[in-house]
Structure 1
Amino acid sequence: MFEIKATESLDVIKELKQQYFALSTAPLDGMWHFGFVPMANHFSFYEHDVLIGYCCINAEGYLLQFFLSPTANVKAAELFTSITSQSNAELMGEIKGAFVSTAEADFLSLCLDNSSSFKVNALMYVQDPLQTIEEKALLPMKLVEPSQLDTCIKFVNESIGAPEDWLSSYLGNLIQRKELFAYWRGNEILATGECRLFDDYQTDYAELGMIVAESERGRGVATQVLKTLCHKAKEQGLKVICSTERDNIGAQKAITRAGFFAPNRLIQFEFKRT
């Protein structure tokens, strides 16, 4: 007997998530999989009370992960089509589409088979392993201290418009984990850089992010920030990844100049309506 149940604790599916990440052909985007996914609704798949898979759906009705164990008797294509055709809407809600990386081959194929349209949402970057960084390219970026949180919140809010309440929690966590750096001119922040580490999966990688003050853009600061963060990550024996939106041409140029290339994409799918 096959059954879908709401997942009460992510610990229940931790082993399946390990298998999910092991199947990816490249590291997956940390903001999506470790920022957005934990906030999504998870559902577990069972055959005769044996856990065989799971999926998660965000508040907007988009699938973010889908995994079915190779030991399952149910066919992945049939189950996926059943879910996306709203046959389980009473339990799972309406499913509009999915966000999936081109590094998630099985999930990607299922989305292609059931989609009405799709578009590239973001570019997924890894660093060229032959890239070298000269010391003169590095900036004197320092770890942000807890006492500097309010200054960072103000800087990021003014730079990209993110809400202050969310920034207080997000940046506060980065500071506590010693993953947030800043490039200063006196008491003024010119740029911030994130070097985010992974706790459970992809632990040999660091994911980078940066924001440059509007007054400093177009001067190569973004590329220098990324090179500096790469250097800090490599001092810890870590490889680096990053991503940016499809339309952010300025960031793409800076990332490329820092020695990255984008072998994968994050795709937004809209599913067929039945």
Structure 2
Amino acid sequence: MLEIKPIENLLEISTLKQAYFAQSTSPLDGMWHFGFVPMSTHFGFYEQENLVGYCCVNGEGYLLQFYLSGDAKTDAKELFTLIAEQNSSVIGAVNGAFVSTAEPIYLSLSLDNSSAVTVNALMYKQAKTSKNGYKKELELKLAEPAQLDQFVEFAATAIGAPEQWLSGYFCNLIGRKELFGYWDEGELLATGECRLFDEYQTEYADLGMIVAQSQRGKGIATQVLNWLVNSANQRGLTPICSTENSNIGAQKAIKRAGLSSSNRIVQVEFNKK
């Protein structure tokens, strides 16, 4: 008989996480899986006290990951439906799921219980390293700790993200030497991120970029991405990134930088029984 219990220490499921990532058909989005997932509530699936799977649910009641070992005796479809129909008193309310098309098992289970599906974001990956080399157009500089407030203010103005969250996020990137800036006459006009993975997807670099609203449409986004792609390639890494389905400008810049998209992150709403 299966028992569902909260997971307090994520190290308990590290082996299961590794198996979860191994099931994917393409690298998974870094922000979702290494930014949002650790902040979500995790639950373990136990058979006779043996941990055979897990799931996690964010603060809005959406599943972000679901995995059940192939060695488990429990039927994955039955377990997922139980959760989706909110019949687990341990997990509680579950409204839907965020899942990528690179996660076929999790996606199929989500679709089995769906009432609506919308595309949230496009996932990109560099298909092959350019043989033409990098044409230097602009130079990004590594962010320094003393510049944290400048980066926070810039991003809050450019994309409207909460300053408190940005402060912690950028502080971590600066400490890891993964945040860069493009200045012109002392003014910060764009930021670039080249985020490395500590585990599971270590052969990839997850790119991010923000351009000042006043500078958009001038080709800066493509130049920043070209610089980041080249930086990743010089380390022997394959660049990946994602952008919202509605952000047509970013999609064009990403395509011009040599990345292509064959996967999506979708938001699935569950049937309410």
TM-score, shorter chain, exceeding 0.5: yes
Which amino acid is 1:117 matched to? A
Q: Which residue of 2 aligns with 1:101?
A: 100
Superimposed CA distance per residue, residues 14-53 of structure 1 (whole angstroms, 9 cap, x where no aligned partner) = 0000000001000000100000000111000011111110
Contact 2:211–2:220 (CA<8 Å) still a contact in 1? yes
Aligned-partner Cα distance in 2 for 1:243–1:165:
23
3-state SS, counterpart of residue 241 of structure 1: strand
Contact 1:133–1:231 (CA<8 Å) still a contact in 2? no
Superimposed CA distance per residue, residues 129-154 of structure 1 (whole angstroms, 9 cap, x where no aligned partner) = 05345443442111011111111111
Contact 2:134–2:226 (CA<8 Å) still a contact in 1? no
Shift of 1:237: 1.2
Matches within 5 A, 1:146-185: 146-185=145-184
Q: Which residue of 2 aligns with 1:64?
A: 64
3-state SS, counterpart of residue 42 of structure 1: strand
Aligned-partner Cα distance in 2 for 1:245–1:109:
22
Superimposed CA distance per residue, residues 165-190 of structure 1 (whole angstroms, 9 cap, x where no aligned partner) = 11111111111100000111121011
Determine if the alignment matches structure 1 residue 31 to structure 2 residue 31: yes
Which amino acid is 1:238 matched to? L
Does 98-107 or 150-159 show the bigger shift?
Answer: 150-159
Determine if the alignment matches structure 1 residue 73 to structure 2 residue 104: no
Matches within 5 A, 1:118-267: 118-132=117-131, 134-267=133-266
Shift of 1:213: 1.3
Aligned-partner Cα distance in 1 for 2:225–2:70:
39
Q: Which residue of 2 aligns with 1:54?
A: 54
Q: Which residue of 2 aligns with 1:16?
A: 16
Which amino acid is 2:135 matched to? K
Aligned-partner Cα distance in 1 for 2:235–2:195:
12
Q: Which residue of 2 aligns with 1:91?
A: 90
TM-score, L = length of structure 1 = 0.97
Which amino acid is 2:250 matched to? A
Does 157-166 or 258-267 show the bigger shift?
Answer: 157-166
Shift of 1:157: 1.2
Contact 1:133–1:227 (CA<8 Å) still a contact in 2? no
Aligned-partner Cα distance in 1 for 2:207–2:104:
24
Q: Figure out how many residues of one structure are paired with residues of the other and give that number.
A: 273
3-state SS, counterpart of residue 59 of structure 2: coil
How has the CA–CA distance of structure 1 residues 256 and 223 changed in structure 2, closer, same or farther, with 3 Å as cutoff? same
TM-score, L = length of structure 2 = 0.98
Report the aligned-residue RMSD: 1.1
3-state SS, counterpart of residue 202 of structure 2: coil
3-state SS, counterpart of residue 91 of structure 1: coil
Which amino acid is 1:111 matched to? S
Contact 2:25–2:103 (CA<8 Å) still a contact in 1? yes
How has the CA–CA distance of structure 1 residues 173 and 133 changed in structure 2, closer, same or farther, with 3 Å as cutoff? farther
3-state SS, counterpart of residue 183 of structure 2: strand
Counting aligned pairs with the same residue, the percent is 60
Q: Give the gaps of 5 or more residues in structure 2.
A: none
Aligned-partner Cα distance in 2 for 1:137–1:223:
12
Q: Give the gaps of 5 or more residues in structure 1.
A: none
Aligned-partner Cα distance in 2 for 1:267–1:181:
30
Determine if the alignment matches structure 1 residue 5 to structure 2 residue 24: no
Which amino acid is 1:62 matched to? Y
Which amino acid is 1:48 matched to? Q
